[in-house]
Structure 1
Amino acid sequence: MKLLTVLLLVALPLYCSAGSGCQQLENIVAKTLDPDISVDDFKNYLKEYIDNERSSEAVGEFKQCFLKQSDETLKNFGEMMQIIYDSPWCKPF
Structure 2
Amino acid sequence: MKLVAVLMLTALPLYCYAGIGCNLLDEVVNMTIDPDVNVTQYIDNLKEFLPGEETEKAFIFMKECFLHQSRETLENVQKLQQAIYSSFWCARY
Residue 29 of structure 1: aligned partner: 29
Tell me the secondary structure at the aligned position of residue 19 of structure 2. helix
Tell me the secondary structure at the aligned position of residue 36 of structure 2. coil
Closer/same/farther in 2, CA of residues 6 and 44 from structure 1, 3 Å limit: same
The code of the aligned residue for 1:39 comes to V
Closer/same/farther in 2, CA of residues 80 and 2 from structure 1, 3 Å limit: closer
Closer/same/farther in 2, CA of residues 45 and 14 from structure 1, 3 Å limit: farther
Tell me the secondary structure at the aligned position of residue 48 of structure 1. helix
Identity of aligned residues (%): 46
Alpha-carbon deviations, 1:43-81, whole Å to 9, x = none? 122122211100000000000000000000000000000
Q: Is the 8 A contact 2:12 2:84 kept in 1?
A: no
Unmatched 5+ residue regions in structure 1? none
Tell me the secondary structure at the aligned position of residue 59 of structure 1. helix
Q: TM-score, normalised by structure 1?
A: 0.81
Moved more, 24-33 or 67-76: 24-33
Structure 1 residue 49 corresponds to structure 2 residue 49: yes
Aligned residue-pair number: 91
Closer/same/farther in 2, CA of residues 7 and 30 from structure 1, 3 Å limit: closer
The code of the aligned residue for 2:49 comes to Y
Q: TM-score, normalised by structure 2?
A: 0.81
